Chain A
Amino acid sequence: MAEKIATRAAYGETLVALADQYPQLVVLDADLSGSTMTKDFAKAHPERFYNMGIAEANMVGVAAGLAACGKKPFANSFAMFAAGRAFEQVRNSVAYPGLNVTVVGSHGGLSVGEDGATHQCCEDIAIMRAIPGMTVVNPCDGNEMRAAVKALLDHDGPAYLRMCRLAVESVTDELPGYQFELGKGVTIREGSDVTVAATGLMVQAAVKAAEALAAEGISVRVLDFHTIKPLDGALLEKAARETGAIVTAEEHSVIGGLGGAVAEYVSEHCPVPVVRHGVQDQFGRSGKAQEVLDAYGLNAAGVVEAVRKALALKK
């Protein structure tokens, strides 16, 4: 039975679990520690936790200063504010000097649900990816998140980690031979007719879509791109050559995120049709998380439709 847990919950428990092993780790939050799940770290290690109040710009700058003195800060807020409000601090105070800060954006994408458009950030991957030297990571489940946190603690340099509010069923915890490596995609399911390159909770939707299409005799390869930057070009190129068409699936705008990254790479290295499935240049809206995802086609049915488009283009 696959585990069902929000990536943010797995994140919070991993910070606590690894705190002793990584004494340089410090955690900053902007009055959202109950939502970003840093509250347990705050309780376990109050001397290494800084609540900077509702002031994300300063939080990121303070993280940069801590990193300049050898600390390993994880700076947390909602994706909208960590990557959005504090974009310029991430760019100029963290990334330009190449400081060792992980900016963590929780509540990424539409699955924020009820809070609506102002809090549903569907641009964070695009804007973080545009910054030189940033590593951008978006794990699909709790198992992958735990491995990602450890990998980012070992990583030297600026990084953005996206996580989501909604509890999701694990797809990687029972995957034979699963290993997490920054910058390396994961083959979740083999297939030969078309590839779905997915990230975050759309990996689960892609698996369900592949199962549905298998019943029709369509063989769908599913790749999990937990790291959007650096992109695993080798895995993508192999999929393009072997399956001849690619669908990207993400809980993010189709502009500039995984879809953008894949389209850029494929058009330059191994041109095949690419259909970008995600949020179609729109703002989100309020509703229960699953209802909102369904309203925007961010589910298995949406992926199936995108696969049919890609297959039509392939012919």
Chain B
Amino acid sequence: MDIKTLARTAANGRLLALEAVHTAASGHPGGSLSAMDILTVLYFNTMKVDPANPKDPDRDRFVLSKGHCTPALYSVLALKGFFPVEDIKLFRSIHAHYSGHPDMNNVPGVDMSTGSLGQGVSAAVGMALAGKLDKKDYRVYTDLGDGEIEEGQTWEAVMAAAKYHLDNLCAIVDVNGLQIDGNTSDVMPSEPLDAKYEAFGWNVIHVDGHDYAALIAAFEQAAACKGKPTMLLARTVKGKGISYMENNAGWHGKAPSDEQYEQGKKELEAVLAGLEVE
């Protein structure tokens, strides 16, 4: 998919994510917006998935380890055609199954139920091990938050992935620098991340998490790297695309008011209009 179409898809995804959180009057917009470009590139460029056959045993897998970012995942899955785009209005609703955190049994296209931080990456390691055991060539992707990696379990998983040389696994840390209580550097400093993951035996790639061409190239480099798993350290902006949310930890898990929703919508629609004109 060309860069402009990816940009348009991501902008549409941001509109849907904003609508989801606004309609539900709850959810996590900040991290969803920071992850949107990464997920868009994965589902519309990099991953082999078929919305008509969501359980295809040979498909690539994606595990949203930072499971609260369902507004991003559900929006991308809907745009990809796994379920109707109108369903985004049912996010977190008692009248449907679009739960606050990913549910693999009820939401088509979701490969793993996640939500409790630190657990998704272990499941991704298991999926990559199964792929090796079955000699299949599918790849496994997982997106973690830079707050999430404070969970010790993620480091257990990182050791295991290196031990088993899981070059079919690509993890992404969405490094937006913020978590609920503020800056990750204040709550629990984790840098230098590149040196840490390299020391744990991973291939580490730095990438701008909002640069489509760079993300495409990084996923290609990850696939080309043999003998070890790859970690993408994706620099991102929490709340990316909506001015009042950007770089503001307060928007981690809060829904916009009607007025804020309209403003955000206007900003995203302007981005879309710009992409049409060019």
Task: Give chain A's interface residues, CB within 8 Å of chain B.
Answer: 26, 47-48, 50, 52-53, 55, 57-58, 60-71, 73, 88-89, 92-93, 96-98
Q: Are B105 and A65 in contact (CB under 8 A)?
A: no
**Chain B interface residue number, banded:** 35 or more
Chain B, residues 6-26, CB within 8 Å of chain A (1/0): the string is: 000000000000000000000
Of all chain B residues, which has the CB nearest A48?
Answer: B133
B122: nearest residue on chain A (CB-CB)? A61
B97 to chain A, nearest CB (A): 13
List, in ascending order, chain A residues with CB within 8 A of B164's CB: 50
List B135-162 residues whose CB lies under 8 Å from chain A: 152-153, 156-157, 159-160
For B126, give its contact among A47, A48, A57, A65 (CB under 8 Å): A65
Give Cα A264–Cα B112 distance, bound, in whole angstroms. 34
Q: Which of chain A's residues have a CB closer than 8 A to the CB of B134? A: 69
Q: How far is the CB of A59 from chain B (nearest CB, A)?
A: 8
Whether, in the assembled complex, B124 has its beta carbon less than 8 Å from a beta carbon of chain A, the answer is yes
CA distance A62 to B130 in the complex (A): 10
Given A64-B126, A65-B122, A68-B123, A47:B133 Cβ within 8 A = yes
List B58-75 residues whose CB lies under 8 Å from chain A. 61, 63
- Does B174 touch A at the CB level, under 8 Å? no
A-B contact pairs, 9 of them (CB 8 A): A48-B133, A52-B160, A55-B153, A61-B121, A65-B112, A68-B111, A68-B130, A92-B119, A93-B114
When chains A and B are docked, how far (Å) is the Cα of A203 from the Cα of B76?
55
Residues of B close to A69: CB separation below 8 A:
57, 61, 126-127, 130-131, 134
Report if A62-B119 is in contact (Cβ < 8 Å); known contacts: A47-B133, A55-B159, A69-B130: no
Q: What CA separation (Å) do A88 and B105 show in the bound complex?
A: 19
**Contact call B123/A65, Cβ cutoff below 8 A:** yes
Q: Is the CB of B160 within 8 A of A53?
A: yes
Assembly CA distance A68 to B142 (angstroms): 15
Greatest chain A CB density within 10 A among B129, B159, B164 is at: B129
Q: Which residues of B contact A47 (CB under 8 A)?
A: 133
Q: How far is the CA of A51 from the CA of B112 in the complex (A)?
A: 23
With a cutoff of 8 Å between Cβ atoms, the chain B residues found around residue A71 in the complex are 130, 133
**Pairwise interchain contact A66-B127, C-beta atoms closer than 8 A:** yes
Is the C-beta of B116 less than 8 angstroms from some C-beta in chain A?
yes
B residues less than 8 Å from A50 (CB atoms): 129, 164
- The residues of B that contact A70 with a CB separation of less than 8 Å are 57, 130
Q: B159 contacts A68, CB within 8 Å? A: no
